[in-house]
Amino acid sequence: MNYHNVSFEAAYGLHQQIPVSSLPEVAFSGRSNVGKSSLINRLLGRKALARVSSEPGKTVTINFYNLDGQLHLVDLPGYGYAKVGLSEKKRWSGLIEGYLKDEKRMLGMVVQLVDMRHPPSAQDKEMIGFLIETGTPFVILLTKADKLNKTEREQRLASIGNEIPDLPEDTVILPFSSKTGEGVDELRAILEQLVEFCASHPELLPDTGEPQTDADDSEQPDEETPDEDQVTVEYIGFDDED
């Protein structure tokens, strides 16, 4: 895949707004400030495709990025930010859970981000437990690996398997650093394997119910006026990194 051929596609504030998958999807999940923006920018070799927000908890939508016409990278709202009101937390929770349980999705994998410097938070464990329970494929990326020395890294890698209840033994756990690029090649290899698998199994892609037409013959649809209940967002940046 050409990792430089990527563009922001859409943002949704309600899971009901999200259309049926047109491409395989990889979702990025993690708490606020875990470093999603830095990870995605490094993964794609870009400096500011995923903007770093000046305020934690600013990503309030599910953001879709189109990678080389072959894969959707899906940024889920960061969880665990204490200053967000209860009603907003419930909306975020419904947005994330609605997406992850949506049968219209071709969700190939979740990349679960955990700060390598600390044991997984209660919300991290809850999210990973949900992925295990629902049988959703996932890998764990340990962000900010460059902030630990060799001994600290070894201790964290040895401990994390015991810190997450019922973690399958074959779970892929990758240290990642947006500064040094550690883990980028490994993550890209995983994404490419997923794309190859999905390409050989087109039947896995949900049926959109729309007839196939040639681009030259298709008429452009009229621009729709958003309903009052819709959350219209042109762009919301990723959570920042401490």
The mean per-residue pLDDT over the stretch 65-92 comes to: 77
Output the average pLDDT for the chain. 81
pLDDT of 94: 76
Q: Which CATH number fits domain 6-204: 3.50.70.10, 3.40.50.300, 1.10.357.10, 3.30.2270.10?
A: 3.40.50.300
pLDDT band at 238 (very low <50, low <70, confident <90, very high): very low
- For the entire predicted model, the pTM comes to 0.81
The residue ranges of every structural domain in the chain are: 6-204
pLDDT of 88: 60
Starting at the edge strand found earlier in the chain, the sheet holding 62-67 runs 6-12, 62-67, 71-75, 25-29, 107-115, 138-143, 173-175
CB distance 164 to 120 below 8 Å: yes
Beta bridge partner(s), residue 28: 75, 111
Rounded distance, CA 93 to CA 74, Å?
Answer: 16
pLDDT band at 103 (very low <50, low <70, confident <90, very high): confident
The fraction of the chain above a pLDDT of 70, given in percent, is 74
The mean per-residue pLDDT over the stretch 137-163 comes to: 95
CB atoms within 10 A of CB 229: 9
pLDDT of 130: 92
